[in-house]
Structure formats: C-alpha cells, structure tokens
Amino acid sequence: MTALLERQAVLTGAAGGIGGAIARELLAQGATVHGIDRDPDGLRSLGQAYPGRFIPYVVDLADRNATDRMLGLLGTALAGHCDILVNNAGIGRVQSFVTTEDTLLDRLLAVNFTAVFRVTRALIPALRASGRASVVNIASELALIGQPGYTAYSATKGAILAFSRALAAELAVEGIRVNAVCPGPIDTPLLAAEFELADDPLAARAGEIATVPLGRLGVPRDIAGVVAFLAGDAAGFVTGAVWPVDGGKTAR
C-alpha cells in the first residue's frame, strides 16, 4: 500500500505504543516520518528499522526552549514542505481533583495542549506549501465522557477537541484539513500500568473490557489505521471532525 507515497509527515510521541504504530503505518504507506519523542531508544529502534525514512528528534515537548531548537532543525529537514502532522504526544496521571497540584496541572497542559498549539503553529508555513495537508490531533475518550481521577487530563484533551474544530474552520480556506481522534482503552504499557494501580489488576482489566461494546481492548494499530485514513486523500472532504476509536464505549 502506497497511499501516502512521497509525503512528509511529522509525528510527535513517535516512540510510544500508539505513536510507534502510527509511525509504522505511515511508513508502510510510503511516507517519510519525522518522529519526535523524549525516548531516544524508541526513536533509535524505528530509525534502524526504516533507515533514511524515519528521522528522529529527541526532545521533551514541555521544554519550550528545547522544542524551539528542535523546530528549527525540523524546519531545515522539511525544506518548507509538510503534508501530514500528527500531534500524538501526551501524558496522563490518575489523580483526584482535590490532590492535583499546580506542578502536575502545568505539565499536563504543557505536553497535552500547549505543545500541540506551538508545534502546529510553527509548521503552518510548511503545511500551506503542501496543497493537501492534513493535521490529526490525538485526544481521548475522556474528552467525551467523564471518569474519576482524570479531571486535569480530561480538561487538556477537551481543549484539543475545541482547538481542532476552531483550527479546521480557520484553515479550511487554505485547504488544510484538521481532525481529532479520540482513542478509547488501548492495550499499551501505559494502560497496563494504570491497571497495576488497582488492588486487583486483572479485575480492573476485565472491568474496563466490560465497558466496551465490542468486548475487547483496542490495540495501537486500531488508532494507526484511522490516523492514516485521515492523513490521506480518501478523507479529502473530512475536516473539523472528531473520530472516537473506542469500540463503541462512548456510544452508550
């Protein structure tokens, strides 16, 4: 499959479970991927698997100065042309509302929202040069439904939805599409770590599966396939949309 042949993609959070799956799907469809993450080992692994087609950038997106330096290097590598931007990087923390301290709130906002805003803004000239540009922002099911322990996280992901809709309306005249994807419970190491916080991790996992009408946890490639679709020409008339990929969990 070469639906994204000769396209340049920028992907944040490229070394994680979902991010790695997105990177591999975009690469499999022919794109060159500029992958951003704070995990050098994960990026190195992808670079070794796809030499010359996966270009790594190690940075903590919460660090504005380091991010600006990275964006300078990225701009040079892109040579003023970007077809796909996937804002996937994100962090989470199970924390009750009343015990959420400002330091945690600030970091969640910095990675989950502010970095998305700043990276997208920096790449607008390169996206304009594409003529077929697509921005895909990864939000969460918790931008659509409430769950105890996730007030700060949900707020940052809700901001992504509002941002995506407003940006889609603003950039439509320039032919730049903007959409959001809301993953449900996806079987990644991060979700497994959340289950381990429970008194009975196996029961916690079974309880989560019970909330999903399709009867299973998602896997990273479930998200990657939707992202690749939104990035390509088949979704050429799709913008300002929110795509829940959650096995029907938020349809209840």
Catalytic residues: 153
Q: How far is CA 16 from CA 23, 88, 109, 127, 178, in A?
A: 10, 9, 19, 24, 22
Contact status, residue 92 vs residue 111, Cβ threshold 8 Å: no
DSSP labels for 167-205?
HHHHHGGGT-EEEEEEE-SB-SHHHHHHHHTSSSHHHHH
φ/ψ of residue 35, rounded to 5: -100, 130
Give the pair of three-digit tokens for residue 82: 């970007």
25-55 b/e (C-beta count within 10 Å ≥ 16 → b): bbbebebbbbbbbbbeebbeebbeebeeebb
DSSP string, 91-119: ------GGG--HHHHHHHHIIIIIHHHHH
As a whole number of angstroms, the distance between CA 128 and CA 226 comes to: 23
